[in-house]
């Protein structure tokens, strides 16, 4: 049975942990860490099988485990990912935006080869990535338009230098229009889907991103358009936000759980 360590005990990490803790999941959660000791303690209290709370994030990868699951932040990825691979553990990353830092991407790619380990990237809150990947060599344009309720965007770095008041938005408003590289830097907790899309397709500087705030929506909607020599693809995904964290779509959590389940089981894989 696979042994899992969890980095990040917030809303997403908690849902992943509760699923692993269920009787029918082919793995065991053995260690957890969160920058907030209260968050990690609160999580452990909810579980039947009590994982050990380690004192710092780097201790996760020194344990007798198979994979570290990151559900914390881009900064956590930049801080911990290399040591996980160096300790010869696999890694699953939810904060994919960290990989748009080219130096981080190159370092981790080399580490995967050097230490013969794998980084897993769940599809998150979008779909259609297999299709995008299959036409990558013929892609000429790729864009994603994300629409969320204003409350889902609160706290983003973008608003530190913006005059936009999210509380006063009363109709659909364009918040951002630029590249995936810019978007992921300014909205690190909101738009990891753009990072994943750009890594699958034509890169973060060529992938266009629009972020809309709609006070009348109860969904996180992602509309993807891809075109090139192959023809054209469009995908629209309407996700309900996670009830405990509106910045995260329920689909993102489900994709993380499914990716982890595939890693831990011997079942037949479709489309992989």
Tokens of 111: 């580490």
Sheet holding 220-228, edge to edge: 173-179, 207-213, 139-148, 220-228, 231-239
Verify whether residue 58 is a known catalytic residue: no
Whether 192 has a binding-site annotation, put simply, is yes
Whether 239 has a binding-site annotation, put simply, is no
Assign 91 to helix, strand or coil: strand
Residue 76 has phi, psi (to 5 degrees) of -65, -40
Catalytic residue among 31, 58, 149, 222: 222
Report d(CA 4, CA 70) in Å as an integer. 11
Burial class, 174, CB count within 10 angstroms (exposed 0-12 / middle 13-18 / buried 19+): exposed
Pairing of strands 241-242, 245-249: antiparallel
CA dihedral 181, 126, 16, 148 (to 10 degrees): 70
Comparing C-alpha atoms, which of 110, 70, 114 is closest to residue 92? 70
Helix (H) / strand (E) element for 145: namely strand 139-148
Binding site residue list: 125, 192
Which residues are annotated as catalytic?
222
- Binding site feature residues for NAD(+): 125, 192
């Amino acid at each position: 049975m696979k042994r899992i360590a969890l980095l990040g005990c917030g809303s997403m990490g908690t849902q992943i942990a509760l699923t692993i803790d269920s009787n029918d999941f082919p793995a065991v959660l053995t260690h957890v860490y969160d920058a907030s000791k209260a968050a990690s303690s609160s999580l452990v209290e909810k579980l039947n099988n009590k994982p050990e709370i380690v004192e710092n994030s780097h201790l996760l990868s020194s344990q007798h485990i198979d994979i570290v699951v990151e559900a914390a932040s881009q900064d956590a990825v930049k801080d911990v990912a290399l040591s996980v691979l160096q300790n010869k553990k696999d890694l699953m990353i939810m904060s994919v935006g960290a990989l748009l830092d080219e130096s981080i991407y190159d370092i981790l790619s080399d580490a995967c080869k050097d230490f013969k380990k794998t980084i897993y990237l769940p599809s998150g809150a979008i779909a259609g990535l297999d299709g995008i990947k299959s036409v990558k060599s013929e892609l000429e344009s790729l864009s994603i338009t994300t629409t969320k309720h204003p409350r889902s965007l609160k706290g983003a770095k973008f608003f530190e230098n913006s005059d936009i008041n999210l509380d006063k938005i009363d109709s659909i408003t364009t918040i951002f229009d630029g590249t995936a590289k810019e978007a992921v830097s300014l909205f690190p907790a909101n738009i990891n889907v753009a990072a994943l899309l750009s890594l699958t397709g034509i890169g973060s500087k060529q992938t266009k991103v629009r972020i809309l705030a709609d006070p009348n929506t109860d969904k996180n909607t992602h509309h993807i358009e891809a075109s090139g020599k192959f023809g054209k693809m469009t995908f629209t995904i309407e996700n309900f936000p996670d009830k405990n964290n509106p910045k995260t779509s329920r689909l993102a959590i489900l994709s993380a759980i499914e990716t982890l389940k595939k890693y831990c089981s011997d079942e037949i894989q479709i489309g992989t």
